[in-house]
A and B are shown apart, each in its own frame.
Chain A
């Protein structure tokens, strides 16, 4: 598996092809249902966000609480499809890619092709495994949302598959 570093450069994104497994290294932000709703509501009101969307990768994940002596608790991906309606606006605002699990809808493929983004899918139900692949974990915003808050994460040797590439090709439709 190739090593890929975050934040993602455009030429790296365009070089990644559907179906390829890669190992991710570097920073991304967690956000799931409630955080997405709040991000988009803030954008509509013209408010400042607790992190910079431009150039970022968003990981659909809500961790379990951190046990003493560890960096993070279990932290595998949640179902991506629930976040589909938010993808076009986030890509328009500069987000480069998403990490989650499972299939996406047509609106996601279209927006990824338009903005040259990428969707990585990985393995659900492996929260303990991914917990060993996080170097840094830090609260960024929306603390009141508990496990749904936004966190900065530094990924290390984190396996994912290119499920939708920048040309809009979708692994789930082709396999």
Chain B
């Protein structure tokens, strides 16, 4: 059994949370630049130029990429042969608190959804645990703004729903909510499991590197078809028109019940603040 001290995890998670608030994901930035040169729509060019300049200013002057410094999501894949020593949840809370207070990041979390008093330190984060074979800890951090979170959805479909109907539902959703979610988007689709499992899968999906297709042929087909149709909608960067509505679409699936077909769609905004570390 490998022993890892919670304090060590805290130090590394703290660094990661800070880094992703000021740095756009490399593959995303590269793709914006590539598409900027291919794009013919003048509005799309204006928006992509602003997003590219924004990423430079954020990095060089250490100003958050987006004023919505989001709610912090932490995904931990814990090897079954690892033992964590110490109060890890306290440490994760502490990491969020210190990063947000020390780096002038906007506190956007309220203590209660009804009373709505700000916690002023952006705690608590949302933490998900998975158990995997081995003795490593893989920790991913996602900063989720609520412009795009509010534009996400979960829907319980009939088990007899066809591939074509699934594609139509996702495309129709992007058509209605995409312009408000700060495109260019990354679209995560979760299929199967239970309601909350589908949502979880749709969140995990947006962490996949750009252009890495699902191994399963039928899911790859869904990804490619949804991407093609979404980019034909003329939503475009910022919602002002153009071809680049989504950088990519990723579908993840899980076994489900004979009576159901849960579908979740997470829209990830252009400010893709994500990173992972392995301890």
Contacts and interface: CB of A to CB of B under 8 A. Distances in A.
Contact of B106 (A63, A102, A124): A63
Interface string A114-133: 00000001111111110110
Interface string B39-74: 000010011001101110110011111111100000
Interface string B148-177: 001000000000000000000000000000
Given A66-B104, A79-B147, A123-B47, A128 B116 contact: no
Secondary structure at the B interface, as helix, strand, loop or mixed, is loop
Contacts of A75: 67
Nearest to B59: A128
A103 B177 CA distance: 9
Interface residues of B, number: 42
Interface string A38-52: 000000000000000
B64 A127 contact: yes
A73 B179 contact: no
B147 A78 contact: yes
B106 A131 contact: no
Interface of B: 43, 46-47, 50-51, 53-55, 57-58, 61-69, 104-108, 116, 118, 120, 145, 147, 150, 179-180, 182, 234, 237-241, 269-271
Contacts of B105: 64-65
Interface residues of A, number: 39
Contact of A124 (B58, B63, B147): B147
A101 to B, nearest CB: 7
Tell me what chain A mostly uses at the interface: helix, strand, loop, or mixed: loop
Given A64-B106, A73-B104, A124-B66, 15 more contacts: A63-B67, A64-B105, A65-B106, A67-B104, A73-B63, A101-B182, A121-B238, A124-B182, A124-B269, A125-B66, A128-B65, A129-B57, A146-B120, A147-B107, A171-B240
Given A21-B46, A132-B57, A123 B63 contact: no
Nearest to B234: A175
5 closest Cβ contacts across the A-B interface? A102-B180, A124-B182, A64-B106, A129-B54, A74-B67
B46 A159 contact: yes
Given A67-B63, A101-B238, A125 B54 contact: yes
Nearest to A33: B116
A87 interface: no
Nearest to B184: A125
B235 to A, nearest CB: 9
A172 interface: yes
Contacts of A97: none
